[in-house]
Amino acid sequence: MTGILAPEILDGRRLWIDPVMADVIHKLHTGDATKGWSGDPRLEVYFEPTKRRWELWRLEDDNEYRLVCRSAPDVVFDDRLIELLVANDKQRGIATLGERIVAQNDERDRVVQQRNDDHINEEVIPRMNYALRKDGLI
């Protein structure tokens, strides 16, 4: 898709075309093979002057711009933005950060539960059986 003309002003934000981020903006649109990013010409970088931060907006299929992410105040976008987009690209089938955290926590819980079960099966149950047999209860 080519020929997308982004509005210069979007909800009080100014389209960012300064050379400071020209390389990152070019990679956003055309891709960066070294990071596995194929590019998206619908992405645009805007500056929010009241909060002194940069924002990434995307023109969606319904012709509405939606916020993708924003920087911290006075922090300029760099190649980490591309890495973040690749890491959270749902079209790639890669889980989002939240999904990865939940999966990691679930795995940790499973391991802890398995250790507890093993301890009960290997230590507690044999000792209880011995004590019950010794007292003549079984």
User: For residue 123, what are the domain limits?
Assistant: 95-138
- My answer on whether 23 and 78 are in the same domain is yes
Cβ 56 vs Cβ 43: under 8 Å: yes
Examine the domain organization and report whether 33 and 79 are in the same domain.
Answer: yes
Could you give the 3-state DSSP secondary structure of residue 76?
coil
Query: How far is the C-alpha of 96 from the C-alpha of 88, rounded, in Å?
Result: 5
Specify whether the CB–CB gap between 88 and 97 falls below 8 A: yes
- Global confidence as pTM: 0.56
Q: For residue range 4-50, list pLDDT tens digits in order.
A: 666 666 666 666 666 778 888 899 999 988 888 888 999 998 888 88
Give me the pLDDT at residue 114, please.
95
Residues 110 and 136 in one domain: yes
Residue 66 CA to residue 63 CA, distance in Å, equals 10
Task: Give yes or no: residues 69 and 136 share one domain.
Answer: no
Phi/psi of residue 53, nearest 5 degrees: -140, 155
Q: Is the pLDDT of residue 70 over 50?
A: yes
